[in-house]
Structure 1
Amino acid sequence: MEFVSAAAESRYAALVRAAPESVVGLDFDGTLSPIVDDPTQAHIHPDAAKVLVALAAQVRAVAVVTGRPARQALDLGGLEEVADAVHASGKDLFVFGQYGNERWSSAERRIVSPRPPAGLATFERELPRVLREADAAEAWIEDKGLAVAVHTRRLPDAEAAFVRLEGPVGELARAHGLVVEPGRNVLEVRSPGMHKGQAVHSLVETTGATGFLYAGDDLGDVEAFEAVAAHGRGGLSTLLVAVASEEQQALVERADVLVEGPDDVLDLLRMLTADAEALRA
């Protein structure tokens, strides 16, 4: 764990002071869960539930903001059980799935979701042809309901396949009024206009937060970083945490804190919890 500057350390101290009125937003894959070849096996870090419950006692709300469907995140993270403990303490746990298109909270306990975007079904029917033409027929297609993800991680040369597919998948998506969100050896196709930055804005508005920590690891978190930074310029106490990786460095130049993976993320959250509790003692 590394603070990138003295200014970043000052922002952390300000966030500790603002902790009771702050929201902590966390990506799932690569942040709370290690990156694995099979996304269906990406279980939350074994220490995360305990850390999140302790953290929730010191902040206004905790939110998981993920590209996964909300139901997947709830199940893989055991987040409904975490929500029980968080709600019992009078605090809130939110889950924003599919980049904010789906919303679940410990108070309402139901997933609010729009209909799938027009064009997505046709895109998915035409996708196998594009994969074959790009010599990536064995790429894994994940139907997420509101989006379709093309994973190359399981292929022999995952990065080369990803590069071959970026152009044709993007072209097919645009032909059906959709957008592509590139990630770590994955191309996610979904409707335009909704991204993790919108989830950040919604959380600030819903909770009335005066502070915001966001931690993420991938291109899909860029909009969340930008939204948090915008609120920082508007007066909120903010801290941006990037999980650096060899595959993706997009967040590093925007971050206040660099961490190496879920273990480091949880160490930072433990530190925030302890410092906020000590300040209020």
Structure 2
Amino acid sequence: MDAADLVEALRPHLAGALIATDFDGTLAPLVADPESSRPAEGAIDALGALAGRGAQIAVVTGRDATTVVRLGGLDTVPGIVVAGLYGVETWRDGGLETQDPPPEIDELRRRLPDAIAPAGHDVWIEDKRLSLVVHFRRAADPAAAADAVRGPVTDLGRELGFETHPGSNVLELRLPGYDKAGALRGLAEGRSAVLYIGDDLGDLPAFAAVRDLRDEGAVAYSVGVLSSGVPEIVDAVDVDVDDPAEVVELLRRVAG
């Protein structure tokens, strides 16, 4: 399947479809500072056009939902739903459904800096309230820095009841039992079709969920963005594109 085939297959089902996408690396180019992340030019307009055609728009992200809404200006997209922290929380219509932080996360905050100290001073921790992310992108050798602390970080997370998940130059410690597959399946219930777009290791479960939905008889497709450099993406998706700018162009074509 190529992009033109996907557009042709999806358009007849657009009214009532779910159009779901990751944020960083998919709608927005990856940047060193997560606070400077912004959608690619035209992304919000393209999502709005799809909403105008009757599609349910969703963003499924590892970030907390309110941060993504703020950085992306997503509240301007009619009816959008943002599933944050891999589905732990949901933002819609200006309101947030979320969980209280577990008591163990305070202990994780206290001990994680010591666990990552061998990776050097250019490694830093992002606090998402319900999860913590160790970033290696600023290190001189990100892969080596991650290798130096993966074991201690994983052991600490296991001790305190958190799962450790790799991403593009990150290790994330998050609440167990949540992934983008579960978030996507919940959003997809009752929809005429499903399109999911993502770029990273955390999106692989959602791509698998798309395949399962199709095996169950649903109209469901996946698109992978290659600019994050995750090799597993190519074999996991129906169509691949190079970067967020091409995601915007694809969304425009689907909207017609």
Q: Report TM bin, short chain.
A: over 0.9
Secondary structure in 2 matching 1:44: coil
Instruction: Kindly report structure 1 stretches of 4+ aligned residues shifted beyond 4 Å.
Output: 8-12
Secondary structure in 2 matching 1:154: coil
What is the Cα deviation at residue 14 of structure 1? 2.7
One-letter identity of the residue aligned with 1:251: I
User: Which residue does 2:86 correspond to in 1?
Assistant: 99
User: Which residue does 1:151 correspond to in 2?
Assistant: 135
What is the Cα deviation at residue 247 of structure 1? 3.0
User: Which residue does 2:169 correspond to in 1?
Assistant: 185
Conserved? CA contact 2:25–2:227, under 8 Å: no
User: Which residue does 1:268 correspond to in 2?
Assistant: 250
Once residues 212 and 175 of structure 1 are traced to their aligned partners in structure 2, the CA distance between those partners, rounded to angstroms, is 38
Alignment of 1:1-281 (within 5 A): 3=1, 12-80=7-75, 82-83=76-77, 86=78, 92-106=79-93, 109-132=94-117, 134-205=118-189, 208-245=190-227, 247-274=229-256
TM-score when normalising by structure 1: 0.86
Give per-residue Cα distances to partners, 1:166-204, cap 9 Å, x unaligned. 222111111111101211101110111011111111112
User: Which residue does 1:277 correspond to in 2?
Assistant: none
One-letter identity of the residue aligned with 1:162: A
Conserved? CA contact 1:11–1:238, under 8 Å: no
One-letter identity of the residue aligned with 1:94: V
Answer with 234-243 or 162-171: which moved more: 162-171
Runs of 5+ consecutive residues of structure 1 not aligned to the other structure: 87-91, 275-281
One-letter identity of the residue aligned with 1:151: H
Give per-residue Cα distances to partners, 1:25-77, cap 9 Å, x unaligned. 00000001000011110111231111111111124300011111111101110
Once residues 11 and 60 of structure 1 are traced to their aligned partners in structure 2, the CA distance between those partners, rounded to angstroms, is 16
Conserved? CA contact 1:128–1:137, under 8 Å: no
What is the Cα deviation at residue 223 of structure 1? 1.2
Once residues 236 and 50 of structure 1 are traced to their aligned partners in structure 2, the CA distance between those partners, rounded to angstroms, is 27
Runs of 5+ consecutive residues of structure 2 not aligned to the other structure: none
TM-score when normalising by structure 2: 0.94
What is the Cα deviation at residue 250 of structure 1? 2.0
Secondary structure in 1 matching 2:165: strand
Pairwise CA RMSD: 1.6
Identity of aligned residues (%): 38
